[in-house]
Amino acid sequence: METEATDSVEPKSRAPAIPDLSELPVPLERDVFVRTLLRHLAGALQDVVGLEEAAGFVSIVGQKIGDEINTAYRGAMQIDSLSKEQVAAVCVDLKRRIQGDFFVLEMTDEKIVFGNRACPFAEKVIGRPSLCMMTSNVFGSIAAENLGYGKVVIDESIAKGHDGCLVTIYLKPGDETRTKEGREYFRTN
């Protein structure tokens, strides 16, 4: 004689009521959470593998973001390549959109020099200079893909305790670029 297996279903219990905490003054929302997450991730990388290696990991992400941003701006502008002036404008605009405050201090055939009064990572960048590789890679990849070359030098940064940032994109390799510590970027297409 076969017996049919039946699942016994326990009656569902009601979850206890929980208090509504939505009005508590807890400084937590998506932007702060993501910036804090990145701060701790960069800090963990810096502590475990060192500043230089942590910057390398952040650089990989920055390169991908730079490529995406470059494609987005060129598509929106309906052009195949950006001029030097457009590269500068894109760098300023993209930082503005993510709550940075970059501006052009100087522009020549050899370089574009930017100042900055506010980091998109806000206070979460302090002590995390590896996060500056986001700026380096985004700026450098945009310059290189459109102008053929870019070397980004970050002489001052909020991450290192300065009041603002001083970032230079060198547009041509040469004597001045060889003496500066920074990252070089080359056109990939």
Domains of the chain: 30-186 (3.30.1380.20)
Q: 174 and 116 in contact (C-beta within 8 Å)? A: no
Can you say how many angstroms the Cα of residue 98 is from the centroid of all Cα atoms in its chain? 9
CB-count burial class (<10 Å; 0-12, 13-18, 19+) for 25: exposed
Q: What are 20-73's pLDDT values in tens digits? A: 888 888 888 888 888 888 889 888 988 999 888 888 888 888 889 999 999 999
Position with higher pLDDT, 169 vs 11: 169
The reported pLDDT for the residue numbered 8 is 57
Question: Which strands sit side by side in the sheet containing 102-107, from one edge to the other?
Answer: 102-107, 111-116, 165-170, 149-156, 183-186
For position 56, what pLDDT does the model report? 83
- pTM score of the predicted model: 0.81
Q: pLDDT value at position 9?
A: 59
